[in-house]
Structure 1
Amino acid sequence: MSLRKIISNKTMSAFAVILTVFASTSVFAQEAAATAKPIDMGPIYKSTLFYVLLFLLLCLFIAIVGKALRVYELTRETQGKPEGINWDTVNGVLFAIFLVVGLYGVYWEYTVHGEMILPEAASEHGKRIDEMFNLTLIITTIVFILTHIVLFAFAYFYKSSGNRKAYYYPHNNSLERIWTIVPALVLTVLVLMGFLTWRSIFYKIEDPNNKPLSIEVTSSQFQWDIRYPGADGVVGLKNYKKITAINALGIDFSKKESLDDQVADEIVLPVNKPVRFILTSKDVLHSFYMPHFRVQLNTVPGMTSYFEFTPTITTDEMKVKTNDPSFNYLLLCAKICGSNHYNMQKPVRVVSQAEYDEWVTKQTPYLTDDLRKVFNLPVPVAPATPAKAADTTAKDSTAITNQIALKK
């Protein structure tokens, strides 16, 4: 082949251009690496603007490739040549690839993120919620996989080839009945399970021999205030009109049930003992959320809500089950209630009845001496401190000194 033909050959010309560009890029990169100082790109990769520009650059690249392919197709069309790219085949192959990648994504989610789910429920009703959740997840996963296999496989095997014509199939009563009745039955079962589970949680028959422990939780931006009952076992009433600087919760001390209430910095629950939370909010909508107990209920300003459950696994037992010595139950807020929403956490401990009885006796009464004065309640008198024995040593030494002086 002559030199002229080699130069005019399109393949050889394209190869030469690519080789020239690669060599030039390598030379510039080596010079830049030799002269430039290392730059910390960490902050750039963490910025939102970087990923926005990266997305726009990707869109631009796709648009350029699309335009180049369009020009290529139009050029062949003007030259009277057949279509250069069979887009029906390309789309069919892309559907098949997407199906394989998608199924692997489902497998990856179950194997990787599946290990990050919560441990077993630490409450009686939580087990029923987990059973309902698992059944729903199994059914939806099976339906998801089967329908997508049919959808993408159909698009691949029945792509247009120019050798066949689509069959016109407008209606089939049997198929209509099947895909209407079967989903309706499945969804009816799931809805009934949810309804019965919900009723079993919120409509309990109180056992007079095992009355629940009442605990009041008041939400506000951005904290949880915990109030335990005193010896009477009853949490006193509140009145928002009585909220002051020293009575932040607005406790009504005209009711005797409020006089012995206690405040706590954490929630401590006795195991296998029913607990009834009284939930209120001082400002905006919050959400009382304890994920390990499968407990979540909104706290609404101006309305009192209740949630009753029985914890079944102590904190120490859960540390063993999860193989995590630092494990702790938490109370969180599941509503985006403001800038410091993430700070709304409260530690929760589940202990034995004996440990709870010992802990609750050490808690601080809500009613302070200042509140007693405001509500005209008697202030307990502090026990008198016994007077210290008089120090007679100094007096005796002084008397002896005076006697010696007189004798002289």
Structure 2
Amino acid sequence: MSLKRLISNKTMAASAVLMTAFTSTSAFAQEAAAAATATAKPIDMTPIYKTTLFYVLAFLLLCLFVAIIGKALKVYELTRETEGKGKGINWDKINAVLFALFLIVGLYGVYWEYTVHGNMLLPEAASVHGVKIDEMLNITLIITTIVFVATHIVLFAFAYMYRYNKERKAYYYPHNNTLERVWTVIPAIVLTFLVLMGFLTWRSIFYKIEDPNNKPISIEVTSSQFQWDVRYPGADGVVGRKNYKLITAINALGIDFNDKNSMDDQVADEIVLPVNKPVRFSLVSKDVIHSFYMPHFRVQLNTVPGMTSYFEFTPTITTAEMKVKTNDPSFKYLLLCAKICGTNHYNMQKAVRVVSEQEYKEWVAKQVPYLTNDLRETFKLPLLAEPTAAPAAADTTAKDTTSQIALKK
């Protein structure tokens, strides 16, 4: 057998082996693919831009892009330098133009914030003191905005106007007493005005002279994870004492019924307030620090375990009127917790309604007393008779039927 034929036969044999191996591999691959398809889990088609990883990778990609551009520009400048040519890029001019553009974009951002996010602010204050707080906020915002815009225009304009120029020499200007007096005295006067305005507003809220002809309604609110318990004073107008040592399964608030003022106290599932009537809240906490927060009334005060806090204000806009003002039929006042007090903090809220005085009186009359017969038994107080159900109407159908049968006979 010639060498040529031997090679040819071996080549044919090798080709046959390779063909067999390829066919077997393809068959196994098809079977594996079919098995994988049969057992494959559904693919998560969530848009990738909603994941954190997407933004991390996008940021790293942007950093890489900037680094590549920077290196390319560096190579470009070194190349021109080795060739003995002049500076290729005037970075001073580019930076100056960027400062000017940044000023324009920044000022537009301020305008956008006022016009877009400004419309997302709370509606007008629904309490007497809330109007004062809003006035104080507006004055502070106007002054700081004017200063912010003016100083940034000067800052970025100077960066553009006085960019480096080899034909211009800087003027040495190290000190100016008059200028320093101006920018020290004016801010001091403005800040003094703002601080005094805030102090006087705060005093007018927390230090009130009680009007004997218009005494505030006393309401107690007890905070706990994660709820608000509301207690109204009843007919005597006084909320009774409480003691944490008296807290039990049936006396969750620890009310002391040895105090006669506690006997007629009422509990409520919501807070209802009469319009244009002062209200005084007594605030206590059973567990951790919470924050009694009613944003529409501009009310916020911490509730601290072991001590009682007080906040008095006068609501001025009913819930129905605020629905009209906000053009929102579903609007409602809310009591929220402004402290991160635990896992269910976000859901710690209670509805608040402001109604006319007549509606308030009708609502209060329907509220149940806190003192139940179980509590009366615990405190050895006389039990009240349970309300008896009205007697059911007599069933005269059978009698009528019997009478009709008798008549027929």
Bin of the TM-score, shorter chain as denominator length: 0.7 to 0.9
Structure 2 residue aligned with 1:362, among 343, 366, 388?
Answer: 366
| CA distance in structure 2 between the aligned counterparts of 1:54 and 1:300, rounded to whole angstroms | 46
State the partner residue of 2:184.
180
Q: Kindly tell me: are residues 154 and 40 of structure 1, through their superposed partners in 2, closer, same or farther at Cα, counting changes over 3 Å?
A: farther
User: In the alignment, is residue 206 of structure 1 matched against residue 220 of structure 2?
Assistant: no
User: In the alignment, is residue 122 of structure 1 matched against residue 126 of structure 2?
Assistant: yes
State the partner residue of 2:135.
131
CA shift, 1:84, in A, is 1.2
User: Matches of residues 47-66 of structure 1 in structure 2 within 5 Å?
Assistant: 47-66=51-70
User: What amino acid does structure 2 have at the position aligned with 1:191?
Assistant: V
Structure 2 gap segments, 5+ residues each: 1-42, 399-409
CA shift, 1:370, in A, is 1.6
CA shift, 1:197, in A, is 0.4
Segment drifting more, 349-358 vs 257-266: 257-266
1:188-221 deviations in Å (ceiling 9; x for gaps) = 0011000000000000000111100011111111
- Give the secondary-structure state (helix, strand or coil) at the position aligned to 1:215: strand
Structure 1 residue aligned with 2:330, among 323, 326, 329?
Answer: 326
State the partner residue of 1:194.
198
| CA distance in structure 2 between the aligned counterparts of 1:296 and 1:145, rounded to whole angstroms | 31
| CA distance in structure 1 between the aligned counterparts of 2:258 and 2:276, rounded to whole angstroms | 34
CA shift, 1:142, in A, is 0.5
User: In the alignment, is residue 228 of structure 1 matched against residue 195 of structure 2?
Assistant: no
Segment drifting more, 150-159 vs 281-290: 281-290
State the partner residue of 1:353.
357
Structure 1 gap segments, 5+ residues each: 1-38, 395-408
- Give the secondary-structure state (helix, strand or coil) at the position aligned to 1:278: strand
Larger gyration radius, structure 1 or structure 2: 2
Query: When the two structures are superposed, what TM-score results if normalisation uses the length of structure 1?
Result: 0.83
Q: Kindly tell me: are residues 40 and 141 of structure 1, through their superposed partners in 2, closer, same or farther at Cα, counting changes over 3 Å?
A: farther
State the partner residue of 2:345.
341
User: What amino acid does structure 2 have at the position aligned with 1:380?
Assistant: L
Structure 1 residue aligned with 2:315, among 311, 321, 336?
Answer: 311
- Give the secondary-structure state (helix, strand or coil) at the position aligned to 1:364: coil
CA shift, 1:243, in A, is 1.5
CA shift, 1:41, in A, is 5.5
1:224-255 deviations in Å (ceiling 9; x for gaps) = 11111111111112211111222211111221
Query: When the two structures are superposed, what TM-score results if normalisation uses the length of structure 2?
Result: 0.83
User: What amino acid does structure 1 have at the position aligned with 2:75?
Assistant: V
CA shift, 1:138, in A, is 0.5
User: Matches of residues 16-165 of structure 1 in structure 2 within 5 Å?
Assistant: 42-165=46-169
| CA distance in structure 1 between the aligned counterparts of 2:251 and 2:270, rounded to whole angstroms | 20
User: What amino acid does structure 1 have at the position aligned with 2:302?
Assistant: N
CA shift, 1:63, in A, is 2.1
| CA distance in structure 1 between the aligned counterparts of 2:118 and 2:223, rounded to whole angstroms | 32
Q: Kindly tell me: are residues 236 and 53 of structure 1, through their superposed partners in 2, closer, same or farther at Cα, counting changes over 3 Å?
A: farther
| CA distance in structure 2 between the aligned counterparts of 1:167 and 1:372, rounded to whole angstroms | 89
Q: Kindly tell me: are residues 393 and 155 of structure 1, through their superposed partners in 2, closer, same or farther at Cα, counting changes over 3 Å?
A: closer
- Give the secondary-structure state (helix, strand or coil) at the position aligned to 1:365: coil
Segment drifting more, 369-378 vs 136-145: 369-378
| CA distance in structure 2 between the aligned counterparts of 1:381 and 1:352, rounded to whole angstroms | 34
Give the percent of matched residue pairs that are identical in Structure 1 and Structure 2.
81
Q: Kindly tell me: are residues 392 and 41 of structure 1, through their superposed partners in 2, closer, same or farther at Cα, counting changes over 3 Å?
A: closer
- CA root-mean-square deviation: 2.4
State the partner residue of 1:286.
290
